[in-house]
Chains A and B, each alone.
Chain A
Amino acid sequence: MFDSVAAQIVFYLVAVTTVGFGAIVAFSRNIVYSAFALVGSLMGVAGVYIMLAADFVAMVQVLLYVGGIVVLTIFAVMLTQGIGDVAVSNRAAGPVLGFIMTALAGAVMLLAILRTPWHLAAPVSISATTYGVGNAFLGAYVLPFEIASLVLLAALIGAVVISRQDLQRDADPRQDAAVRPPAASSADAPGKVEG
């Protein structure tokens, strides 16, 4: 399938990108460096997806992960950290113990990968996958697809409710009850949007 020299070069290039930036994510002591290295690692993973003939998944990866989640993560880093103290904000706890546990788990999984006789099928032809993915989403996987939209809606509402401070204060009747006008009685309306 990937027998040509060019395919090997591309694979190792993509793999080194993914692993290298992933190592920065895991080992950097600066949380901002970690957040930006996550962009490179996820782009490398998108390259792996393209190698595996999954063009639509690769585009979803770039749009959602690199464009959405990483930007959100960088926002959170900037909102929660003073830029001056980022050097000490990312320190590791128990690196030796963590390394030992990770190495043990990795050895077991490597053994499992190399020893298992994987069932291999004939290689699929390289073609656009959007037709098949769309058919799968609206055919066999239509129920998980709809439930996923409910999950996303719940996550959106939950994120708004959790992260807005004034909503939390409205939901808690013990705080500043004295200064609140009695007619408002916001304790009865925790979902009030106008903060």
Chain B
Amino acid sequence: MGGGITLDHFLVLGLIVFLLGAYCVLTRRNAIGILMGIELLLNAANINYLAFAYFGGARYDGQVFAIFVIMLAAAEAVIGLAIILAIYQNLRTIDVDATETLSG
């Protein structure tokens, strides 16, 4: 630090959030935990959108895309949680390692 907060600071913050989300997605067995990791990933992407919108001059384009991402994240969460509830009703578990009915 020293020279003030620059674009790189925000990009590195987005990178850290992305890595936390990626680690969460890779290592969780609980399906809801995986969905939480996906939400961290989407937030990291949004941080990058808004950072580039602010520092790159294309202001409203980045904000509109960030709102689209939030909107689709809502749809994704609704569908994902509905699928998880349906799996739970059938198998009484949401461990993704246990849902291997289709494997040979």
Contact = CB atoms under 8 A, between A and B. Distances in A.
Interface residues of A, number: 89
The prevalent SS among residues of A at the interface is helix
Contacts, number: 240
A35 B36 contact: yes
Interface in A1-60: 1-4, 7-8, 11, 15, 18-19, 22-23, 25-27, 31, 34-35, 38, 41-42, 45, 48-49, 52-54, 56-57, 60
A177 interface: no
A187 interface: no
Interface in B67-104: 67-68, 70-79, 81-86, 88-89, 94-95, 97
Given A31-B32, A92-B27, A114-B8, A72 B55 contact: no
The 6 A-B residue pairs whose C-beta atoms are closest, nearest first, are: A121-B57, A2-B5, A155-B75, A98-B26, A3-B4, A159-B82
A37 B85 CA distance: 22
Interface in B38-77: 39-40, 43, 46-47, 50-51, 53-64, 66-68, 70-77
A193 interface: no
A185 B85 CA distance: 27
Nearest to B62: A54
Interface of B: 1, 3-13, 15-24, 26-30, 32-33, 35-37, 39-40, 43, 46-47, 50-51, 53-64, 66-68, 70-79, 81-86, 88-89, 94-95, 97
Contacts of B17: 18-19, 22, 41, 45
Contact of A124 (B7, B54, B84, B95): B54
Given A42-B43, A162-B86, 16 more contacts: A2-B5, A3-B4, A19-B17, A22-B16, A25-B36, A26-B21, A41-B43, A45-B47, A52-B50, A52-B51, A69-B73, A102-B22, A144-B68, A162-B79, A162-B85, A165-B86
The prevalent SS among residues of B at the interface is helix
